[in-house]
Chain A
Amino acid sequence: MFIKDQFKLMKNTLRFTWMLLLAMATLVFTSCNEEDEVIRIFEANFEGSSAGLESLNSSAEVTVSFSTPTIQETTVVIEIEENGVVYGSDYETSPAATDGTIEVTVPSGSENASFSVTRKVEFIESGNNVSFTLVSVDGEEDPQIVGSSFTVSFEKVVSESGQIDIATGGSTQPNQVYIDFSSGTQTAVRRDAWELGFYNGSENRVFLNSSIKASAAVLTGVTDLNSVTSAYEFSEPVTLYYYPDFATKTEIQVSNVEELTAGLPVGYTQYGDEDNGVVFTDLAAGNLDETAIAEISTNADENFVYIVSLGNEIPDEEAEAGSINISGDHRGFMKVRILTDGNSYTLQYAELDATTFTEVNIAKSTYNTMSAFSLVNGGEVAVEPESYDINFTGVFSYYSGGFGLTYSDYAIHNTLGGVGVYKLHTEDLPGGFGAPGETANTDISYENFTLADVDENEFVFDDRTVINSGWRSTSQGVAYDYMYFIVKDVDGDYYKVQFTALLSADGERGYPQLRYALLQ
């Protein structure tokens, strides 16, 4: 009996062991491989918060933007609340409202839904308005409604504050963006759209496009453009300097154009002779007398041939998240000679080894401060808007201290247009590139800064690089939230401006964002 029990027990234990082994084998061979699902967050909000319809038949577009494109046909439902006005007689909307509700249906893939409001009568009492409330977004799964109301008034509305998602365009920073605060607008232009900028003021000056890393070197005494090729030998060798290893200033004798082009493009090993004023880029500060191309003389014999490095292409390939990829292949060299009669410029240009050249006339415009020209495409280009405060140029380059330097996320202000800027920060700024850190220069935060705090003496009008790229930390991937700028525009209005983001939500560079507010 006892033995039998023992045997039974043993048999059971063995069976148990086998089962355990089997269970474990299953565990061993089926390693779990679950992956967290990607959740789609769909947020909808009004773009901006108000609009003004000053005159009869004027209309305003009201836009509801989505954080991510729709994946099916979606209907946005907006409720109307009237304050002293009546639908149909005072104003109307398109699509039309029924029972105080507007429904806007958009197809799959839409990034926003919009409707327009049109004023129908001449006279509406001041203070009367109509407000729109975003009630629901039908069709989308679990939509989140944020910033849900928008007001249309029937008088002039001054946009006093706002935020701008600067259209730099991503990690290759393809665009330079001109920002005007008084109109709350931005104008984006591709960096490679132009190489030369012709000053529209009284002086006869030509700028280089520092956002594409253009540079230029004069062939002193040479006035015959056709005689210059890459094989062109100088009458005597020119002594220039460069740093092959960041540390040793090295002399190099340049005796022909080909040898010159080796050190002309902007880079750490760019040639120059700063002590004797030989610099192949416009200086950083952006003043009229600091351009690489000398003042254009009305005496043609004094205007020499320049070799222009066209800079670097905008790369096609985006960088990894958090990084930038701003310099592609070199765009080559051209030769130019510029003449002027004081009212317009005459540009002669050709490929470096060409034996004929093209000549164009560029008239001084009264529209903006600079007329841009593309040597590559051979024509004038619309670049600068009529008025702007800040040029968020993205890439910015200049020669300094023996090196050709390149920056990204860079902003300059419109000094030639009369805009002044100064920088405030409530915390000490870290140093970098051998520059000392800056101690805090205010204890007033961006939020608390008012018109009374403006210090007129601080505005800088003779150096466009006040903002530069020091508003952000590339290692931390943030815009410093303790730094902001005070801008005085051409009309004498004051704005406070603060950068609020360096990276996109997905961590990509080239999606800066700023907010601004009129000081009054």
Chain B
Amino acid sequence: MDIANYDTFFVDLEARLKRSPSDRKQIISKAVKETHCPYLLSRLQDLQRIYRTTIFIFAFCLIQQVMAQTGYVVQDVETGESIIGATVQLQQGKDSKMLISDGDGRFIVSHKPPYTLMIKHIGYRTLIDTISSDVPETFYLHQTSQNLDEVIISSAPDHNVSIDRELFDVKEIDRKTIDQLAGNNLSDVLNFNMNMTIVPDVATGRSTVNMFGLSGEYVKILVDNVPMAGDNGSGNNIDISQINLENVERIEVSEGTMGVQYGSNAVAGVINIVTKKNLDHKWEVSTSVQEETVGPEYAWFGKGRHIQNVKASVNLSERSFVTLGVSRNDFTGFFNDYQGKNYKETDGLRGYEWNPKMQLSSNAMLNYQISPTVSALYKFESYKETIDIYNHTVNARLGGDQELDNSATDEQYITNRYGHYLNVNGKLANKPFSFIGSWQQQIREVEAYTYNLDYQVKTASTGRVENQSSNIYYSRGSLDHLLTNEILHVDLGFETEYQRGYDAIASGPYSDNISIQNIWYADPFLTTSFSTSERYSITPGLRFNHNSKYGTHLIWSTTLSYNLPKLFKTKLVVGSAYKTPNFSQLFYHFVDANHDVRGNPDLSPEDGISVMLDIDRNHRTRGYWKWNSGIKAFHYGIKDKITQVQILDETSTGQSISRFTYLNVADYTNYGLTLENQMNYKAFDWLLGFNYIRTIEYLGEEKIRSTPFSITSRMSLDLQRLGMRLGLNVKYNGSDQQFYQTGDTIEPGKLEGYTLADASIKKSFLDNSLELTLGSRNLLNVVSINASGLSAGGGHDGVAPTSQFFSTGRSWFLKLSYSFKSKS
């Protein structure tokens, strides 16, 4: 029943009562049975007043309570206060029933288990739980805040694809924020997160995430809890511009080491992309188009960024849900001073500053409720990326007619990725379980060709040659509450992965050393939670990482939490920071007359410690004002960090030969502090954060220091009556030390500070079915960042950069989305 039908219901009810006042008890008791929501009850109370049936209703409720089978209580997890008037929807097979918690937060269920309960209340996150025994239980609801932070749920509908929020401090970017930023891929939305910087690479068009000053190698990226397939490996150093966000419900960001839960390389943090898996009406079709300038460049064809999306979702039956979606992102390149692909002059201005990239993402999903306690989900994803690399060099030669013939040698990279996911979860003997299996495949092909500029055609081609291929088989399972009593709580899980693949690019430009590599791991893990009171808990966890290459290693972490209801929450996470070497560090091979850079297959994994202390002041309220603040202190100590070094090799004749390789030589330490304040006044939200990191890397005698500082501000104004939302995000990144590859050596330099700002306005029309978003990225037009302090000259071919190209500059976007859906 939706709101529109309620009034009809009451008109009908009133009419019936007027027609036969003598049967009013019967009529109202029937109505009470039919109505389940607070709104209806309040209307019924009006009716009671009119027809003086209070006593009857009271008696009716009393009888219901006596007959009840199981009693439950709903409480606020922080304050322990009972929640009155929470809506409880009971689902048993096709039968469903609506209940309301009473003055003591209690509600009674008269059904026999198993059944599913969905508990909702305004200001709290919805909780879904499957009940299989009739033991009375208390459900704890977690408050939601208007903003995107600190949304904590203990048992979300997609519990098995979420990061555990009891153990870690999880930040969330919800759909509203993604829409506000008109985010098509992950690199569009992550810029304004604390402790995080996006590192764009102009040469390759890739973007990676740094967290806590650690590179993308230390950040693990998951989609529905499955490590994403990357160019060489899974989960780490992922190009986030390849992650499409159209079918994404939210993005969870967990900071700090999560080695026990997510294995090696989950050192700096985990970013989990959670896809949409349900729909609250019968069907929906949504489409959108987005037109975006690339810096100041835009045209209908050939310039700018053009995005189209289509998505359709249907609840086929009460048990099954299907969704299909396609998204196309056509980035036509950034010209800047370059003149495009048909430019013929030999002045080096042919091509693009940023080469064009076309992405086509599609997905299909089937969610099926096998039984009241078990559901299964199958998901298929495909991704195709086409990157055209246009050579700046024009090959001009005099032809037979003494005129210049112009051609260029260009390349096209085509990456195809397919993923199949199966996820089964539910409860087994009242213990929540989850199983995930996935197979991901990525193939990259390259075609080198000669483009004749006089005729504007391709005149010679190598054809498409496969130069990277990987197959990743992954599985993860967990069984929670294996051992449960009042103070002890044991969860058990396993994770295993088998990878097979090779990468010609990561192997080095002239490598004759391209070999197919197999690597697998199989890790059981265990977390035990002790809690003597609701205030304290200690959760130690252990994982036995068994890697085919590095043997068995113990990964550990402990979460200590101390909560003072209504005042603050404290969480201390201490754990090992364990990272295995990457493909290039192991297998890179670049040896010619002037270079000798080789990977080192004998590298050992890096190990270290991560400490993260998080103190959150609970929100306070004064009038319309609401604010809360948190402080986070962190430390990483990584021993034997892998670094490229120059070594001298002694030959048999006593001669020393200099070459470059990778060794476990560096010691890395960082300390940092993050301060975050959040304010809310009516429709206005403001987050203001400060972040300071001090990094020291010891390379033998050499010490590399870096102390970047950043300020983040996020503001939004939600004018619901106007259907409008305004957002303004600003982030200042202080100056930082950077390293440059100069010939064969890496030299330090200083990168000056810069400020990033995004602003947007979103307006909804026609009952929210039409939405218009207008905004700007990089409002302050930061194109390049000044670099200084570099020793100029030095090695051969070394040109010290004086500024580092950073982005395409200020761009504007306009997004129009339209969705049509069924009425129920």
Give per-residue flags for B653-688: 1 if the beta carbon is below 8 A from chain A beta carbons, else 0.
111111000000000000000000000000000000
Contacts of B452 in A (CB 8 A): 39, 41, 505
The 0/1 profile, CB within 8 Å of A marked 1, for residues 332-376 of chain B is: 000000000000001010000000000010111000000000000
Query: By the criterion CB–CB under 8 Å, are B400 and A146 in contact?
Result: yes
| B625 located at the interface, meaning its Cβ lies under 8 Å from any Cβ of chain A in the complex | no
Given contacts A244-B655, A245-B646, A507-B391, contact A513 B397 (CB under 8 A): yes
Indicate with 1 or 0, residue by residue over A134-153, a CB within 8 angstroms of chain B CB atoms.
00000000000011000000
Contact of B312 with A21 in the complex, beta carbons under 8 Å: yes
A451 to B: closest C-beta gap in Å: 21
- Chain B hits for A511, CB < 8 A: 397
Chain B residues 314-331 with CB under 8 Å of chain A are 314, 322, 324-326
Q: Which of A245, A250, A476, A500 contacts B398 (CB 8 A)?
A: A500
B280 at the interface (CB under 8 A from A): no
Per the bound structure, the CA–CA distance linking A432 and B464 in Å amounts to 37
The one of A25, A28, A45, A259 that contacts B399, using a Cβ cutoff of 8 Å: A45
Interface size on B, residues (CB 8 A): 67
DSSP majority for the B interface? strand
Chain A nearest CB: distance from B525 CB in Å?
35
- What's the minimum C-beta distance from B399 to chain A, rounded to whole angstroms? 6
**Which residues 501-530 of B sit at the A interface, judged by CB distance below 8 A?**
509-510
Given A20-B312, A25-B364, A36-B458; A504-B322 close (CB under 8 Å): no
Closest chain B residue to A39, Cβ basis: B457
Which residues from chain A contact B646 at a C-beta distance below 8 Å?
245
Measured in the bound complex, the distance between the Cα atoms of B400 and A515 in whole Å is 12
Q: How far is the CB of A140 from chain B (nearest CB, A)?
A: 15
A506 & B382 in contact (Cβ 8 Å cutoff): no
A377–B306 Cα gap in the complex (Å)? 65
Tell me the minimal C-beta distance from A478 to chain B in angstroms. 5
Residues of B within 8 A of A504 (CB): 395, 397
Given A24-B310, A476-B393, A500-B397, answer yes or no on A263-B360 (Cβ-Cβ < 8 Å): no
Please measure, in the bound complex, the distance between the C-alpha atom of A481 and the C-alpha atom of B398, giving whole angstroms.
12
CA distance A325 to B324 in the complex (A): 51
Check if A38 sits within 8 Å of B449, measured CB to CB.
Answer: yes
Q: Contacts A327-B593, A505-B405: A35 and B457 contacting too (C-beta < 8 A)?
A: no
Is the beta-carbon distance between A263 and B450 smaller than 8 angstroms? Answer: no
Residue A433, interface by CB 8 Å: yes
B803 within 8 A of A: no
Contacting pair A20 B400 (CB below 8 A): no
**Interface flag for A477 (CB, 8 Å):** yes
Contact (Cβ within 8 A) B326 A501: no
Q: Complex formed: what's the CA distance from A46 to B394 in Å?
A: 25
A444 CB within 8 Å of chain B: no
Contact B651–A28 (Cβ < 8 Å): no
Residues of B near A28 (CB, < 8 A) are 324, 326, 362-364, 380, 382
Is A505 in contact with B393, judged by CB distance below 8 angstroms?
no
Q: Which of B404, B653, B656 contacts A259 (CB 8 A)?
A: B653
Q: Are B362 and A27 in contact (CB under 8 A)?
A: yes
| Minimum distance in angstroms from A498 CB to a CB of chain B | 10
Q: Measured between alpha carbons, how far is A341 from B454 in the docked complex, in Å?
A: 62
Question: Does A380 belong to the interface (CB within 8 Å)?
Answer: no
> Do residues A501 and B448 form an inter-chain contact, with CB atoms below 8 A?
no
Contact among B362, B401, B655 with A146 in the assembled complex (CB-CB below 8 Å)? B401
Partner of B458, one of A38, A45, A501: A38
Instruction: Tell me, in angstroms, the Cα distance from A27 to B392 when the chains sit together.
Output: 35
Hey, which chain A residues are within 8 Å of B656, CB to CB? 244-245, 250, 269
Report yes or no: A146 in contact with B510, Cβ–Cβ below 8 A. Answer: no
Instruction: Tell me whether A60 is interfacial, beta carbon within 8 Å.
Output: no
A476-B392 Cα distance, complex, nearest whole Å: 8
Inter-chain contacts of A506 with B (CB < 8 A): 395, 407, 409, 450, 460
Name the contact of A320 in the complex, choosing from B509, B593, B793, B796 (C-beta under 8 A): B509
Chain B residues near A45 (CB-CB < 8 A): 399-401
**Are B593 and A25 in contact, CB atoms less than 8 angstroms apart?**
no
* Least CB distance, B339 to chain A, in whole angstroms: 15
**Knowing A17-B312, A434-B793 touch, does A507 contact B400 (C-beta < 8 A)?**
no
Instruction: Decide yes or no whether A201 CB sits under 8 A from chain B.
Output: no
Partner of A40, one of B314, B459, B796: B459
Residue contact A146 to B460, C-beta cutoff 8 Å: no
Which residue of the partner chain B has the closest CB to A40? B459
A71 contacts the other chain (Cβ, under 8 Å)? Answer: no
How close is A50's CB to chain B, nearest CB, in angstroms?
13
Residue of A at shortest CB range from B283?
Answer: A17
State whether A31 touches B384 (Cβ < 8 A): yes
B residues less than 8 Å from A313 (CB atoms): none
Q: Check B393 against A507 for contact (C-beta < 8 Å).
A: yes
In the complex, A43 has a CB within 8 A of chain B: yes
Known: A262-B655, A513-B398; 19 extra A-B contacts, CB below 8 A, are A17-B285, A28-B362, A35-B447, A38-B460, A38-B461, A39-B459, A47-B400, A65-B400, A147-B399, A163-B398, A244-B648, A259-B654, A262-B651, A476-B346, A477-B393, A501-B396, A505-B407, A505-B450, A506-B450
Q: Would you list the 7 A-B pairs with minimal beta carbon distance, nearest first?
A: A45-B400, A507-B409, A262-B653, A147-B401, A244-B656, A477-B393, A39-B457
11 interchain pairs (CB within 8 A)? A10-B822, A17-B312, A28-B380, A31-B416, A40-B459, A245-B648, A323-B510, A500-B397, A500-B404, A504-B395, A507-B391
